[in-house]
Amino acid sequence: MMLESYWLDSGERFAQDGMAPLPARASVVVVGGGFTGLAAARQLAMAGTDVAVIEAGRIAGEASGRNGGQCNNGIAGDFAALSNRFGCERATAMYRAFDTGVDRVEAIVAEEAIDCDFTRNGKLKLADKPEHVAKLARAADLLAKTVEPDIRLLDRDQLAGEIRSDAFHGGLVFPRSASLHMGRFAAGLARAAVRHGASLHEQTPLTGHSRMGDGRHKLVTPRGTIVADAVLLATGASMRGPFGWLRRRIVPIGSFIIATEPLGDLANRIMPGRRNGTTTRNIGNYFRLTADNRLIFGGRARFALSSPRNDMRGGEVLQARMLEIFPELAGVRIAHNWGGVVDLTADRLPRAGVRDGVHYTMGYSGHGTQISVLMGEVMARIMTGADPVEANPFHGIDWPAVPGHFGPPWFLPFVGAYYRYQDWRH
């Protein structure tokens, strides 16, 4: 078993011809080489902007290359609650942003001819408990009338055509969701950005930032200093470097994933619908099949950050849960076991805007593939003249600091205990 992301291990790595020197000047510097930063760089370069991306590690080496491989539409929370908070019109615009994000991933894959197994296979939200079925039915009724007209509610008998498991009591089908190979998509997106004129610089962490007298930005890295007219932060849950104000507002939380060996014909027996699966518990699971018939299975197996020890222990929890759902997989070897970090906001909504002259977009809260690509492009358009209110569906949302949060998330075990209690009660 490899303690490495299946996507990073099996995908073609983005490769440059040696370590290109950092430019002394750039119109825009994008900090972060995940999907957000790469999509922004591609968009900026296509608009003729001189753009450089600096990445502390490898391209897509963090959340973009260490996730569950799902590209789902739909918001992280409850649409009714979102409508009550913002009004139906604004809530609808936010929901539609995730739809558009899936569309943009699909369009980029086609435009740049990226071989990454993109498939509109849909999402299946599964009721862990009998009482969850009524909640799904209420949600389906509202979504069908507002933002998700093609949603389908399945009872327990109807689930057999989608998933062969006795663990669930009903489900919702969201047909617009998709899946893809994250490593291959990342490499293709990076090559596309370079092809359009962006420069990408791996192993280049940002260690210092200051504003100059003329308003430009001075960015300090171990490989040199860049002066930029504008900066876009696309770092997710970065826990090092400047911009501590972001770390007061982003909670880094671990997510853990395993991948089986290829299952052959068994794959279609356990998941004949081949959709992205998600479950309704607070501490739930998500899973899907790959093009080569592996099962990718993940969840919040531990309320801790990713490390070799936590990844291994998280993998053991996930394997046990996987066998509860799919007993037929007993004896199947786990080929990959890894963890990643989710950039969680308190309300699980993304944040994007500008603060002290620095543009930013992050806080995707575990729903990042599609919205990160979209928001990278949105912020690129804003930085080249688009109206920030019209272009940004998350413009102007309050973003207070998380009380008591100044650095490492010491409170994660308490959060885990709270959600376990909620799952036991409801």
Predicted confidence (pLDDT) at residue 241 exceeds the cutoff of 90: no
Q: Which of 174-183, 210-219, 295-304, 321-330 has the lowest mean pLDDT?
A: 295-304
Read off the pLDDT band of 419 (50, 70, 90). Answer: low
Number of domains within the chain: 1
pLDDT of residue 418: 62
Structure confidence at residue 33 (pLDDT): 97
Identity of the residue numbered 22: L
243 located within any domain: yes
Residue 107 located in a structural domain: yes
Sorted by sequence, the CB contacts under 8 Å of residue 30 that are 6+ apart come out as: 37, 40, 41, 44, 51, 52, 53, 54, 231, 232, 234
Which structural domain, as residue segments, surrounds residue 323?
6-416
Residue 422 lies in a domain: no
Q: Which residues of 301-335 are buried (b: 16+ CB within 10 A; e: fewer)?
A: bbbbbbeeebbebbbeebbebbeebbeebeebebb
Structure-token pair, residue 307: 């490390």
Residue 267, domain CATH:
3.50.50.60
Phi–psi pair at 38, nearest 5 degrees:
-70, -40
**Average pLDDT of 27-45?**
98
Give me the pLDDT at residue 303, please: 66
Whether 18 has a pLDDT exceeding 70, the answer reads: no
- Average pLDDT score, the chain: 93
* Residue 56 banded pLDDT, cuts 50, 70, 90: very high
**What is the pLDDT at residue 318?**
96
Residue 424 is assigned to a structural domain of this protein: no
Query: In this structure, is residue 1 part of a structural domain?
Result: no
Q: How confident is the model at residue 162 (pLDDT cuts 50, 70, 90)?
A: very high
Asked if residue 17 has pLDDT above 60, the reply is no
**pLDDT attached to residue 20:** 81
Q: Please give the average per-residue pLDDT across 90-119, as a whole number.
A: 98
- pTM, full prediction: 0.95
In a domain, 110, yes or no: yes
Is residue 361 situated within a structural domain?
yes
Amino acid of residue 20: A
In this structure, is residue 69 part of a structural domain? yes
